[in-house]
Amino acid sequence: MLWVEGPLSYVEQLCIQSFIDAGHRTILYHYGPVENVPKAAELRDGRAVLDIDQFITHGRTGSLALFSDVFRYRLLAQSNNVIWADTDAYCVRPFETETGHFFGWESDHHINGGVLGLPQNSPALQALMDMTNDEYGIPPWFSEPVKERMRARAAAGEPTHVSEMPWGVWGPHAITWHLKQTGEDRFAQPTSGLYPIPFQRRRMLTKSKALERVARRVLDSTYSVHFYGRRIRARLSHIGGRPEPGSYMDVLLEKHGIDPEQAPIPTKDTETQDE
């Protein structure tokens, strides 16, 4: 996992602790001071994987997702028997893979990299490494008219930087494209494996009335539940900083002994629909 710097909230604490409690050796990479890290997690300097001081951020949101994409590919390329997990991925049961491939469909169209295992000799991993070496590269899956406009901009001396491209360009979109190109998409788990609660229904995770609906989606074959960190924290900040009592997240906090008061999410006075 990677947390560049700053305090963890109880959402990240919960997810990290879930891997520890599942029996996984859990390593959190960082670049600056980090607070509220579960005691059994190992902290490592991110420069051991990627020695860099300039982090690529998404132009519209300021998110570090682009840098995180680069980091996870470099980590997997350097490591044996390692699976990447975002700090908003909750481990339902121990992760297992015989081939080194461990990822899943988030929707009918995209494989997400929020949980990602690829063997070092994976052709898709090498393609992802090559792609992220060029911050001005034109994604091959873009439509021909879009690619033509980008080529024209580049020829005019104004190439399009990756930070100006759509969200997920080095993440789910790239992962899906390259896994399909190499045929490694055949290893992808169904949505129930890693993303049983879709992004559009993430609020179910914090609602007490939705507990049974969440439970019906989390199957015996489910390995992980994604909490969609930035968006779920925004949601929590508007409902008092904590999930509703008896909600799926509330039940998990109790199960893993996580006290939200010790790593709080700042609250806001009014709820917004723009999450």
Please report, as a single letter, which amino acid is at residue 146.
Answer: V
CB atoms within 10 A of CB 91: 22
Instruction: Using the structure block, give the residue that is written with the tokens 């998990």.
Output: 252
> Is the sign of the CA dihedral 89, 93, 96, 102 positive or negative?
negative
Asked if 210 and 217 count as a contact pair (C-beta separation under 8 A), the reply is no
The pLDDT of 119-145, averaged and rounded, is 95
CA torsion 46→232→250→269, rounded to 10°? 120
Contact call for residues 197 and 137 (beta carbons, < 8 A): no
| Distance in angstroms (rounded) separating the CA atoms of residues 134 and 243 | 41
Q: Which tokens in the block code for residue 166?
A: 């759509």
Q: Rounded to two decimals, what is the model's pTM?
A: 0.91
What is the pLDDT confidence band of residue 271, given thresholds at 50, 70 and 90? very low
Instruction: State the pLDDT at residue 166.
Output: 83
Q: Among residues of the chain, what percentage have pLDDT more than 70?
A: 93
Instruction: Write the pLDDT tens digit of every residue in 151-207.
Output: 999 999 999 998 888 878 899 999 999 999 999 999 999 999 999 999 999 999 999
Among 28-32, 48-52, 152-156, which stretch is predicted with the lowest mean pLDDT?
48-52
Q: Averaged over 256-266, what is the pLDDT?
A: 95
Which pLDDT value is given to residue 220?
Answer: 97
Residue 81 Rama label (left phi>0; alpha psi -120 to 50; beta): left
Q: What is the mean pLDDT of the chain?
A: 92
**Count, residues in the chain:** 275
Domain boundaries in the chain? 6-134+182-262
Residue 112 has pLDDT above 60, yes or no: yes
> Which overall architecture, per CATH, does domain 6-134+182-262 show?
Alpha-Beta Complex (3.90)
Cα–Cα dist 109/176, whole Å:
8
> Averaged over 232-257, what is the pLDDT?
96
